[in-house]
Amino acid sequence: MKPILEIKTFIYNIPIEISWGVVMSCEAKHECGVAAVSLKDSDKALFYLYKILLNLQNRGQLSAGVTTFNPQRPQLINTYRNIGTVNEVFRTSNKDKSMDIFRRYSGTKGIGHVRYATCGANDRSYAQPFERHHGRKWKWYSFCFNGNLANYSELKEELIKKKDYHMTLDNDTEVIMHYISKELIGETKPSMSGVFSNLAKKFDGSYNIAFINGYGDIIVTRDPIGNRPLVYSIEDGNLLVASESNALVNCGAHNFKSLEPGKMIEVNNGNVEIKQFAKPQKTAHCMFEWVYFANVGSVIDDKSVYITRTNLGKELAKLETEQITKDHIVVPVPDTAKAAGDAMAYELGIPSQEGLIRNRFVGRTFIEGVSRQDKVANKYTAIKEILKGKKILLVDDSVVRGTTTKQLVQYLKTVGGAKEVHVRVSCPAIIGPCFYGIDMSSVGELLVPAYLGKDQAAEAVNEKVCAKIAKDLGADSVIYQTIPGLVRSIGLPENKLCMACLNGEYPTECGKKLYCQALKNFNSGKKEDKRVYEVC
């Protein structure tokens, strides 16, 4: 079996060899990913974009897209995007159709995106990159971004009421597009560092942006709080950028760096420069990247995701209250909890066994079972030979809404024949929404807040609360990771991390306001049919 795209040489050696084979689906996770490529002496940028996006597939399976630059064609920058996984969008199951896409969109430079919806609808018009045509080359541009604008509704209102704009889409990507266009108004091409510096004064939230214009200039920015990861590799004047390091490593770029918060990469006339476009603010790296979102092989801000998850398992072992017997086994929820589960089992001196097998080839589907058990069975297979009669320490990376956890506990007992199921969560209890790129924007949709009442404090998640949660989940017990244990596991100072969903301490002003509104909605019993940042 050969891979779909095989790069045989080191990353900046051209030509690239292509081979076609079996298409495998990736498991879905809830984020977005961005990519950028600039090649000095080659028009194979799209091949690298494809490879990078394929390795960022864990960050979004809803849609994928690219914009490439080619000075040899009338359409200087050209955008291709669609709904589906990367391989579905690039039609890799049909060699002729796929190769036609690679020929039509060949170029020396480009940007790319994989999407999971945290704002807006789930159709092709929301797929990124967004391209804006114009007769002047510096005003003809395309961009994509990873994150979320916490002040989206305020920015939207300003455009509609004060500037008489018409919004065709209901998302922050369109808002960013209009604000970029406003910065490009004039008779001369502006400084791009000045453009994004001005935008940073208006935007509140998380926003890693990849931008390309009709000159082939590329800008890649990381927001001033550094909420989402962004890495790059520069070698011999060639540039590769991705949301995660594993995407660069799998393209052969082993010498990569994290872009510092408030800095941008600019490609102009073939020159690659790192510039500061915004004053550094309170650094707030999203802890969820290490806990769940990122590929386990990635390194984020010099901290290994795999090592972090291993450390989380060791910290969980310290909290264990069960009197361990020969009947106890650890069962990690595949796949993101495996490193934590294995490490916890090792520390406790008991087996870590794959009692749950992920059905990796199910992929996205509109066909679901009616019962909860059917839905879980579509996703997992319980190995009765491992589970029957055992006392299971079920290790999960996080519990957000609790629905899947409840289904899993029931499934392990009724189908797997487990004697007991004790839920162990490698992430501390989530008590607050996220306004920076994770699709959980209201308090009411979360599991834990309902058990805390109006006292929405991290320290309120005590043994008594956990006992109530366990009862409702059908579990024999529940233990969450501690916030100090999480901080130790990542290895960064607490004041460098965004843990707002765990402790209610939001790193931006608009985030603080949104949390107050979300709590007000929750305490008043108001049901929300839209995300908080879309209506505030």
CATH number for 263: 3.60.20.10
Asked about 32 being catalytic, the answer comes back as yes
Question: 276 and 315 share a domain?
Answer: no
Last residue of a domain, which of 218, 248, 281? Answer: 281
Task: Record the tokens describing residue 298, joined without a space.
Answer: 């990635």
Q: Write the CATH number for 348.
A: 3.40.50.2020
- If you average pLDDT over every residue of the chain, what do you get? 89
Catalytic residue selected from 26, 32, 251, 286: 32
Q: CA-to-CA distance for 458 and 456, rounded, in angstroms?
A: 7
Q: Is 173 inside any structural domain?
A: no
Same domain, 263 and 321: no
> Do 406 and 267 lie in a common domain?
no
Q: Are residues 233 and 330 in the same domain?
A: no
Structure tokens at 410: 């029931």
**With the CA atoms of 249, 229, 159 and 516 taken in that order, what torsion angle do they form, in degrees rounded to the nearest 10?**
150
Give 8's pLDDT tier (boundaries 50, 70, 90). Answer: very low
Of 249, 281, 313, which one is at a domain's C-terminal end? 281
In this structure, is residue 93 part of a structural domain? Answer: yes
Residue 367 has pLDDT above 80, yes or no: no
Q: Are residues 245 and 139 in the same domain?
A: yes
CA nearest to 270, candidates 237, 297, 298: 237
pTM: 0.90
Number of domains making up the chain: 2
Do 370 and 229 have their domain in common? Answer: no
Q: Is residue 477 part of a domain?
A: yes
Q: Helix-strand-coil percent breakdown of the chain, rounded to 5?
A: 35, 20, 45
Q: Say what the pLDDT of residue 122 is.
A: 64
Q: Are residues 275 and 377 in the same domain?
A: no
Residues 415, 495 within the same domain: yes
Q: Which residue has the higher pLDDT, 25 or 404?
A: 404
- Both tokens of 141, joined, read 């541009």
87 domain residue, yes or no:
yes
Q: Is pLDDT larger for residue 355 or for residue 364?
A: 355
Query: What pLDDT band is residue 379 in, cutting at 50, 70 and 90?
Result: confident
Average pLDDT score over residue span 427-450:
93
Residue 428 has pLDDT above 50, yes or no: yes
Instruction: Tell whether 242 and 346 lie within a shared domain.
Output: no
Q: Which domain holds residue 529?
A: 305-535
Same domain flag for 89 and 124: yes
Last residue of a domain, one of 230, 265, 281: 281
* Residue 132 pLDDT exceeds 80: yes
- In terms of domains, do 265 and 342 share one? no
Are residues 257 and 328 located together in one domain of the fold?
Answer: no
Rounded mean pLDDT of 409-423?
A: 97
Which amino acid would we find at residue 322? E
